[in-house]
Amino acid sequence: MSKDYYIIPIFVPHLGCPHNCVFCNQRRITGKTDEMDENKAQHIIEEHLSTIPSRRKDVEIAFYGGSFTGIDLNLQERLLNVAFKYKKEGAVDRIRLSTRPDYIDKLRLDILKKYHVDIIELGVQSLDDEVLILSGRGHNKEDVYRASDLIKSYGFKLGLQMMIGLPGDNMEKSLLTGREIIKMNPFCVRIYPTLVIKDTYLKDLYEKGEYVPLSLEEAIDISSKLLVLFERNNIDVIRIGLQPTENMTTGKDVVAGPFHPAFRQLVESRLYRDFLEEYFKNFQKEDIKNKIITIETKERNISPMAGQKSSNIKYLKELYDFSNIKVYKKDIDSQIIIVHIEDHYDIIDKKDILKNYFRDIV
């Protein structure tokens, strides 16, 4: 999905969080170590607003980084009051925040309603209780169902965040979490592969050999299957992979795990590769051997279709002994792909791809 809104991120690191999820060192993940208050929040908002070229796009204030509804109620209200002021003035369109499922109750939601918060994202991480226990989350799956229902009953938009590769997790459990999330019908979803970050309990487990992170390949595989599940159910996946901080890209914070600065692109690329592989299975290998394949698609699909360093093209060429695969831009709907096998061609809609292929991912 193209992001057609402008985000003003306000990081509220670890404030109010008494928990110690094994994977979390909130200060390192957000890359911000200062505590937040209303003056700093106001400064950040002003700074961003002054750089937004025009109001062609929606503007959103997003409180990220911690468990917003777990922080001191007074500070919550002071921060929300600043955000609401800009919303009332029409300078911003939406207020978003993220929190834990067990920090959702009527008292907190009444406050969020008072300040016209629009979207509440819950860190679900997993809907397998064993994974939640091994990850030190301090809540169970029932907390997620209860909080989600309550958030929706207040009329807020619900966002759900899940992680893959947590201790005790596997492909099956991740897909189960994905399916359970679909039943809750959220407005949007984020998928985060677990990384081993410095100064976390997970790092100790990793060094003792008690935790093995997903490889990049495994993380791409699981994430691409989840992406199919969510897209098939019209649920917007707004992020796959952590937002890379400078320390992450320079390798200072990530000790191990499937980190890649363009992780989503890798996942989308894998989806195209899997789809094309499935599509060519409709033909006898002998019949399409040595043929020239031409694919036409919207310009922005070309790069994920070809894969990083043309990896998808190389993979398919080798698998089916094609003489060549060429990908061209065509001014068509971004959901449409036209595949030519020399004289034969098929016009394929991405929606049909999601419905008719990947049938193993129910």
Could you list the residues that contact ligand SF4 (CB under 6 A)? 14, 17, 19-21, 24, 26, 66-67, 100, 123
> At closest approach, how far in Å is the CB of 20 from ligand SF4?
5
Q: Return all residues near 343 (Cβ < 8 A) that are at least 6 apart.
A: none
Nearer to ligand SF4, 143 or 274 (CB): 143
> At closest approach, how far in Å is the CB of 74 from ligand SF4?
20
> At closest approach, how far in Å is the CB of 90 from ligand SF4?
32
CB neighbours (10 Å) of residue 215? 12
Q: How far is CA 188 from CA 112, 156, 256, 290, 301, in A?
A: 19, 12, 28, 43, 22
Helices and strands in the chain, H and E counts:
15, 13
Nearer to ligand SF4, 19 or 179 (CB): 19
> At closest approach, how far in Å is the CB of 336 from ligand SF4?
40
The amino acid at residue 71 is: I
> At closest approach, how far in Å is the CB of 50 from ligand SF4?
30
Backbone φ and ψ of 145, nearest 5°? -60, -45
Q: Residue 302: CA atoms inside 13 Å, Cβ hemisphere, count?
A: 13
> At closest approach, how far in Å is the CB of 223 from ligand SF4?
19
In the structure encoding, which two tokens stand for residue 173, read together?
């459990």
User: Using an 8 Å Cβ cutoff, are 240 and 264 in contact?
Assistant: yes
CB neighbours (10 Å) of residue 284? 8
Nearer to ligand SF4, 67 or 194 (CB): 67
Nearer to ligand SF4, 6 or 63 (CB): 63
> At closest approach, how far in Å is the CB of 70 from ligand SF4?
8
The position carrying tokens 């796009």 is 57
Total length of the chain: 362
Nearer to ligand SF4, 15 or 276 (CB): 15
Nearer to ligand SF4, 138 or 244 (CB): 138
Nearer to ligand SF4, 255 or 288 (CB): 255
Q: How far is CA 171 from CA 190, 196, 199, in A?
A: 17, 19, 27
Beta strand residue intervals within 168-227, DSSP E: 188-193, 196-197
The DSSP output letter for 224 is H
In the structure encoding, which two tokens stand for residue 303, read together?
């790069």
CB neighbours (10 Å) of residue 256? 17
Q: Return all residues near 212 (Cβ < 8 A) that are at least 6 apart.
A: 206
Nearer to ligand SF4, 127 or 325 (CB): 127
Closest to 261 (Cα-Cα) out of 270, 249, 252, 269: 249
> At closest approach, how far in Å is the CB of 98 from ligand SF4?
9
Nearer to ligand SF4, 199 or 342 (CB): 199
> At closest approach, how far in Å is the CB of 13 from ligand SF4?
8
Q: How far from chain centre, in Å, is Cα 93?
A: 22
